[in-house]
Structure formats: structure tokens, C-alpha cells
Amino acid sequence: MTEKNEYKVSQVFIYPVKSLGGISLPEAELTDRGFKYDRRWMLIDREGQFLSQRRVPDMALLQAELDDEYLSIVHKHKPELNLQIPLALISNSNSGLIDSYMWDESIGVAECGEDFNEWFSDVLKTKCRLVCMPDNSNRPVDVRFAGNNEITSLSDGYPFLIIGQESLNLLNSKLDEPLPVNRFRPNIVFAGGLPHDEDEFDKFEIGGVLFKRVKPCARCTVITINQNTGERKQEPLKTLATYRKVNNKILFGQNLLHEGDGEIRVGDKIIPV
């Protein structure tokens, strides 16, 4: 990361329910496990395994919205299909925890209620349960990359994913149909610099908060799913494989850890330290 380049936050996103539609925000509050409300809920199957668009592409069609009291879920094409989930569910430190499973990891979660289970099961035509990560469930990040006993939410493994707009612009220049950034589900998008400058970031500050790059993000088939239709195609994995494949993994974006609290705003500078 060179000081001669100026980088500014251009977009901020949270994804309250893992693998459902995300929310673009002008600013987001930091907590010890990532942005506030980011991936604090998820859907699990009968065995407790997490569900994502990898298995259920129509999850892309359910959009999350937030107000002061509720997390609302609305079908993108059928607004009559909607649901309100109390935000207070994740604040209830008395919630009894059950085991859920992501990859090879067991994560303590709390069940949200049978009414929510039935709604999601009906809409997605897949038997599932809605669970949340309450405040009394702490999930450490991979010890190989943790520097200070950091924790995360129900993300794939780390609190933040950052992508440079120029990286997306380069990819889109190689595609017949350009893609929006929502295919890649970042938390922070920045403008400025050159394509894939994020690969060279080490430690940097945004809004006075220290961030550390820990590892590149290996991409899966989720980025091939149209977030407005739920349709799956070959791109952009096919094209990314021609220039972003390392050790049989296709890399796009960087995972981050952070220290401290505060807020990240669109327009904030990214300052190397």
C-alpha cells in the first residue's frame, strides 16, 4: 500500500442474515465481532448445518432491511412475502444455545422461533430453522490468523471483507456483461489506486480504527448467482480463473481483522500505518 495513492471508502455493506440480500449503508458501527448486525442470523437445516446460496440460490431473493426495532425480510419480487424479526433476539444474553455447524466448526446459536422457521421453509421450499448469534456466543477467528483473540459473527470466517472498485472494474472489462459488486458480498468497497491494491494492504486506519489484512478471500459458486434472479451461470468464476487463480483457489478481495471501535463512513480515507 503506497501513500501516493489516495483511497476512500465508497460503499459499506452489512448482511444481517447470512447469504440473504445485504444492506448498503452510509455508515456502520463497529463491534467486537464486526459491523453491528452483520451476519448475526442464519438459516440451518435439520442437522444444524448452515445454509447458503451455494445450496439454496433463492436465498438471494430475500432482502434484509433494518429499523430501530426489527429486522425485516422482504422477497425482492413478491413484496407480499415479508417478515419482521425483533432485533432484541440477539441482545438476550439468557438465550440457551444449541450447536450449529459451519464447515468443520461448531458454533453456539439460539433458535428464533417456530413461526420464523415455517415462514422461511415455505418461501424457500426447504426445511430450515432461523437462528441467531446472541451476545453470549463468542466465536474466535482461525487461530492461525488471529493476533489478539479476535472474534467474528456468522461470517465465513472473518469480520470484514474489503474489495477495491478498481478490481471490479478490471474484471468487468473482461466480461461480456458487467457485474455489480453485490456478487462479491464485501463489507467495505474503496475507490482509488490500481486493481487489486487491496492485496498489498497490510495495516491501515479508517475513521481512526486500525485494520489488518489477514488473508485473501477464496471465491466459491455464490459469485456466479445473479442476486436479483437467483440464476446461476459460469461467470465470473470462469474469467477470474484465467488471472486470479493461486494454488487452485480463485482469489478476489481480502479478509480483515480490526482493533477498537468507532464508525466507518462512506468517504473516509484509508490511511496506511
Per-residue pLDDT for 94 more than 70?
no
Angle at 15 (CA atoms; ends 12, 18), nearest 5 degrees: 150
Per-residue pLDDT for 1 more than 60?
no
Tell me what pLDDT residue 5 has: 80
Note the Cα 152 to chain centre separation in Å.
11
Per-residue pLDDT for 19 more than 60?
yes
Q: What is the pLDDT of residues 41-57, one digit of tens each?
A: 999 999 999 999 999 99
Are 109 and 137 a contacting pair, CB within 8 Å? yes
Tell me what pLDDT residue 145 has: 86
Helix, strand or coil, per DSSP, at residue 222: helix
Rounded (10°) CA dihedral 60, 62, 63, 69: -140
94/244 Cα distance (integer angstroms): 45
Helix, strand or coil, per DSSP, at residue 158: coil
> Which residue would you say has higher pLDDT here, 25 or 148?
25
Evaluate the CA torsion angle 242, 190, 157, 67 in order and state its sign.
Answer: negative
Beta-carbon contacts of 114 under 8 Å, excluding residues fewer than 6 positions away, are none
Q: Which residue's C-alpha cell is 420464523?
A: 116
Rounded (10°) CA dihedral 27, 264, 133, 258: 170
239/175 Cα distance (integer angstroms): 7
Q: Give the H or E element holding residue 173.
A: helix 165-174
What cell does 160 get? 470484514
Tell me what pLDDT residue 146 has: 87
pLDDT class for 143, splitting at 50, 70, 90? confident
Whole-number average pLDDT of the chain:
95
Are 114 and 130 a contacting pair, CB within 8 Å? no
Q: Give the H or E element holding residue 251.
A: strand 249-259
Are 5 and 190 a contacting pair, CB within 8 Å? no
